[in-house]
């Protein structure tokens, strides 16, 4: 591997995303990307008694499905990197407690999926592992209950609010292979521009996205047109517009090939989610379902995925704190330069 600048690592030897799997909830199953997901659930419980147990089952099954699809024997999987949005990441730890694979819990809020891919790629490239699971989950009901209001309250959501995706995405990252390859990672710094509105996460996270994106361009010498597509994790409609404008002011035009997973996963007209989707599983399922498929089909050959996280909780909001954001980028390409 080569370090480019302070935040980017370029991988010279092949690191393949061997397989992915995605499971989504009922709302996502009615969205425009439904056909790309491996499993679409009919309700938010999936036979479990609580939303938290359902979320654990979703990540467990998504991980298991990705391992089966990859045809890698689970004996040959060296590590699992996983995280979620629940307090103390219980979805991952309960869902994956029977896995029997060395486990690293991670937390990057909604940036967790790319954090997992980043750590996995450094482990694989450095010789610490041959195959690694990178997985995340989120769940609309468990997240609303925990971060906002009890669902039973039926409170009105402001127009800037986003809708936490119910689902899980899991990827198997492997040494060698035939691609799609993880060719570089750009790891984000925490960026806090003082936004305090917990119902406007897109605005809070957009500066972190732009910081990581432009750092990636500067470190690699690339510009937006290098990529067939640039995808943010869950800036939503509002954050997406802010991101495009902020990039413009810094001389980068990303309008033509940039989209946001939170914008893509729900239909704006028929599925009013206000500002779009969010949650670890937003980027996790859109990548593991749609984007991975497009790479395999060669409809995209070079993409940059930048998952965005709001590093906040209910207590910090109540204590008047602003919302620190973070964004981690991974470039995934069908060939290695």
Q: Are 110 and 309 in contact (CB under 8 A)?
A: yes
By C-beta, is 31 or 324 nearer to a copy of itself? 324
User: Hey, what are 78's tokens?
Assistant: 């060296």
Residue numbers at the binding site for a copy of itself (CB under 8 A): 1, 3, 6-7, 9, 49-50, 52-53, 75, 78-79, 83, 85-90, 93-94, 96-109, 115, 118-119, 122-123, 125-128, 146, 187-192, 311-316, 319, 321, 324, 326
C-beta atoms surrounding 226 within 10 Å? 15
Alpha-carbon span 126 to 323, nearest angstrom = 34
Q: Are 273 and 267 in contact (CB under 8 A)?
A: no
By C-beta, is 220 or 293 nearer to a copy of itself? 220
By C-beta, is 187 or 275 nearer to a copy of itself? 187
Considering only CA atoms, which of 57, 72, 9 is closest in space to residue 216? Answer: 9
Q: Tokens 């689902």 — which residue?
A: 167
Alpha-carbon span 148 to 151, nearest angstrom = 9
Smallest separation, CB 91 to a copy of itself (Å): 10
By C-beta, is 240 or 328 nearer to a copy of itself? 328
Smallest separation, CB 59 to a copy of itself (Å): 13
For residue 186, give the 3-state DSSP assignment: strand
Smallest separation, CB 266 to a copy of itself (Å): 24
By C-beta, is 93 or 301 nearer to a copy of itself? 93
Strand 131-138, strand 79-84: pairing: parallel
Smallest separation, CB 52 to a copy of itself (Å): 6
Smallest separation, CB 330 to a copy of itself (Å): 13
Q: Are 217 and 234 in contact (CB under 8 A)?
A: no
By C-beta, is 246 or 326 nearer to a copy of itself? 326
Q: Tokens 């993409």 — which residue?
A: 303
Alpha carbon of residue 129 to chain centroid: 22
Smallest separation, CB 269 to a copy of itself (Å): 33
Smallest separation, CB 135 to a copy of itself (Å): 13
Backbone torsions φ then ψ of 215, nearest 5 degrees: -60, -40
By C-beta, is 48 or 228 nearer to a copy of itself? 48
Q: Tokens 């790319």 — which residue?
A: 114
Q: Is 17 left (phi over 0), alpha (psi -120 to 50) or beta?
A: beta
């Amino acid at each position: 591997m080569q370090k480019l600048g302070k935040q980017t690592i370029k991988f010279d030897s092949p690191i393949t995303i061997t397989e992915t799997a995605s499971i989504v909830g009922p709302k996502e199953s009615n969205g425009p990307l439904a056909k790309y997901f491996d499993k679409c659930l009919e309700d938010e419980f999936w036979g479990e008694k609580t939303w938290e147990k359902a979320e654990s089952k979703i990540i467990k099954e998504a991980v298991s499905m990705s391992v089966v699809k990859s045809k890698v024997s689970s004996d040959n999987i060296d590590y699992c990197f996983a995280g979620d949005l629940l307090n103390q990441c219980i979805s991952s730890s309960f869902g994956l407690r029977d896995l029997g694979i060395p486990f690293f819990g991670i937390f990057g809020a909604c940036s967790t999926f790319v954090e997992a891919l980043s750590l996995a790629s450094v482990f694989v490239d450095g010789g610490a592992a041959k195959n690694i699971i990178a997985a995340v989950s989120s769940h609309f009901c468990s997240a609303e209950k925990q971060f906002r209001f009890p669902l039973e309250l039926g409170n009105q959501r402001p127009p800037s609010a986003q809708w936490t995706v119910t689902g899980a995405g899991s990827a198997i990252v492997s040494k060698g292979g035939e691609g799609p390859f993880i060719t570089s990672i750009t790891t984000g710094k925490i960026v806090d521009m003082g936004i305090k509105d917990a119902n406007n996460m897109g605005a809070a996270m957009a500066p972190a996205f732009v910081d990581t994106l432009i750092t990636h361009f500067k470190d690699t010498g690339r510009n937006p047109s290098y990529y067939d597509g640039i995808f943010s994790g869950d800036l939503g409609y509002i954050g997406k517009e802010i991101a495009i404008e902020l990039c413009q002011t810094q001389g980068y035009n990303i309008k033509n090939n940039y989209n946001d997973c939170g914008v893509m996963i729900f239909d704006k007209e028929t599925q009013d989610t206000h500002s779009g989707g969010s949650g670890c599983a937003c980027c996790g399922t859109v990548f593991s379902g749609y984007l991975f498929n497009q790479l395999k089909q060669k409809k995209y050959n070079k993409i940059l995925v930048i998952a965005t996280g709001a590093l906040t909780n209910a207590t910090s909001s109540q204590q008047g704190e602003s919302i620190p954001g973070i964004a981690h980028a991974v470039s995934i390409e069908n060939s290695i330069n």
